[in-house]
Structure formats: C-alpha cells, structure tokens
Amino acid sequence: MTRHAAVLGSPIAHSLSPVLHRAAYAALGLTDWAYDAHQVDEASLPDFLSGLDASWAGLSLTMPLKRAVIPLLDEVSATARAVEAVNTVLFAEDGSRTGTNTDVPGLVNALAERGVTRAASAAVLGAGATASSALSALSGIAKGEVEVYIRNRARDAEVHAIAEAVGTTVRIRDWTDAAAAFECELVIGTTPAGATDELATAVPPTPGTLFDVLYHPWPTPLAAAWSARGGAVLGGLDLLVHQAVLQVELMTGRAPAPVAAMRAAGEAALGGR
C-alpha cells in the first residue's frame, strides 16, 4: 500500500514542500511513499480531512489553515497550542488526528546550524503566524526582552498573549521605527514580500544576524544589503528545510532525515524559478 502525505493551503502552487519531502523519500529509499500538494481553503478543509483513508500518514499545512485546523483535531501539542498554529497533522492507526508545529524547532535548528544559539538582543518584524513561531523559538535564544515591530497596533494584545504563552518577554514598537531593530544581535523578518524593501538602506555598518523567512524571490533587498555589509543571513529555505526535516521524521518514523539532499533539492527548484 502506498503511504500518502501532502501539503495543503490556498494558494499552494508555489509550495516547495513536495520537492523537499520527495527528495527525502528518495534518499531514504521510501519508494512506496507519495507526497502531493492540494489546494484547500478553510471552508473545504473539514471535508478534505474526512475523506482521507488509512493510507495517509500526515499533512503539512500552510496559510490559511494553520489556525483553522485546530478545532478539527483530537490532540494538539503544547507548542502548537501556545502559538495557535499547527503546520503538521499526524494520523494514528485508529484515525485520530494530532496537530503539532515544526516551524518553532525548525527556526531553532536553522539558527543553531549557523552557530546562533544565544542572542543578547533580538527583534521580530511582523505579527503573523510565523512571528508567533519566532517568539516561541526566541524563548530559549534571546537573553532579554524581544522587540516586535508591527504595522497594526490593534494586534498588540494578541502579540502579548502569544509571548506570555511561549515564555518570551516582548516590547512592541511601531513599524515606523523598524530600522531600530537592526541594532539587535538577531533580527527575524516574518513579513510578506516587499514589506521590508524600504528598510534595506537602513542596514548598519556592522549588522548581526538576519533570518528573513522569505525564499522567493531571493535574496530580498534587505537580505542582499545585510549580506553586503558582512552580516550573517538566513533565508526562508533554511526554515523550510528544517521544518520539513522534522515533518519527514514524524510522518515516516525514519531519522535522521537527509538534510543535505532536501536542501539541494530546494536550491535546485528555486534556481529554476
């Protein structure tokens, strides 16, 4: 029997998840595993889930499903509950559904791969689902208060609630002051494409580490300017690979997942776009 897994979202055509997971299956010799992408929105998610049979091992979720799926699950991990975002669903033999979040440990592992395990100061640009994961990741990395720069100050209370749930102390600042974030040792950008382009000219002479979670187009103007000044830069592919590594291990039960093969496949796919 073929074992099935897939990524769901809307839109979904741009997703690199099939490339990464299929590369892992090939490297692990899992010839009886299949991984596809399905266009699924919040309205169609319940019917999609109810239509899956026993051949399904798990799902990867992207926007707008990370929060919408929570009421449809039998169990949710503490991390996913705290950040209110599930990006991975695992199916047990009895058909029960468990939701977890591999974005948080994926962020931590990607930074650790570059030698960043502690930061004297840290900032997050944005206040969406990925920003919540970043705040959780920073709970074990940032030594002090994390600065969070957001456009919509109506979300202040929500950000504070997430920060409290994950054990991170934050100070919310207005987006008009976002350039001040660059004085921090570690900056995590979680905003949509184009949102930080205007900040590229504000990169200081000796920047620290930038983790810009975008991956296409790459590099972003901010990442290019950061790198040009000699700062360390991580991109969205780093996060995609490390969160997918954990998904592969959880879904297949095979560890360690082939990080190098997955990264190479992702780089090749992006190079062809």
Query: Per-domain residue ranges for the chain?
Result: 3-101+240-271, 104-234
pLDDT bucket at 216, cuts 50 / 70 / 90? confident
pLDDT at 129: 87
pLDDT at 273: 66
What whole-number distance in Å separates Cα of residue 181 and Cα of residue 195?
A: 14
Give domain 3-101+240-271's CATH architecture: 3-Layer(aba) Sandwich (3.40)
The answer on pLDDT for 83 being more than 80 is: yes
pLDDT at 156: 94
What is the residue whose two structure tokens read 């570690």?
Answer: 186
Q: What is the mean pLDDT of the chain?
A: 96
User: Percent of the chain having pLDDT more than 90?
Assistant: 95
Average pLDDT of the segment spanning 245-267: 98
Residue of 4, 21, 66, 97 marked catalytic: 66
What is the separation of C-alpha 36 from the centre of its chain, rounded to a whole number of angstroms?
19
Q: Looking at domain 104-234, what is its CATH homologous superfamily?
A: NAD(P)-binding Rossmann-like Domain (3.40.50.720)
Cα–Cα distance list, 222 to 37, 173, 212, 239 (Å): 30, 20, 8, 17
Average pLDDT of the segment spanning 110-128: 97
pLDDT at 177: 98
Q: Is the entire prediction scored with pTM above 0.85?
A: yes
What whole-number distance in Å separates Cα of residue 153 and Cα of residue 244?
A: 32
Is 66 an annotated catalytic residue? Answer: yes
Identical fold, 3-101+240-271 and 104-234: yes
The answer on pLDDT for 100 being more than 70 is: yes
